[in-house]
Structure 1
Amino acid sequence: MIILDEKKYAEQILRTDPVDFSKPYQTLSIIARYYYHMCGCDGEKLTGKLHCFMELHYPRYNPLDWTNSIESCAKQAAKYPICQCSGVWITQKELDIMKEINDKVLERLAFTLLCLAKYHNFKNKNNQNWVNNPDSEIYRLACITTNSYDKDIRFFKLKEMGLIDFAKKIDNLSMKVLFVHDDSEKKLCITDFRKLGYEWRLYKGEDYIRCSCCNILVRKTSVNKKYCKDCVKKNPYYTPVGVKTILCQDCGKTFNADASSRECRCEACKTSHRKELQRMKMRRYRNKTAV
Structure 2
Amino acid sequence: MKHESSATGIEHVGIIGGGRMGAGIAQVFATLGSNVTVAESADQRAALGRVADGLARAHRLGKLGDMNPQAVLGRVSTVGAPDALPPELDLVVEAVPEQIDLKLGVLALVEKSVSPTTVIATNTSSISIAALAAGLTNPTRLVGMHFFNPVPASALVEIVRGPATDHHVLEKVRKWVSRLGKTDVLVNDSPGFATSRLGVCLALEAIRMLEEGVADAETIDRAMELGYRHPMGPLRSTDLVGLDVRLAIAEQLETSLGERFAPPALLREKVARGELGRKIGRGFYTWS
**Under a length normalisation based on structure 2, what TM-score does the superposition of the two structures give?**
0.29
**Under a length normalisation based on structure 1, what TM-score does the superposition of the two structures give?**
0.29
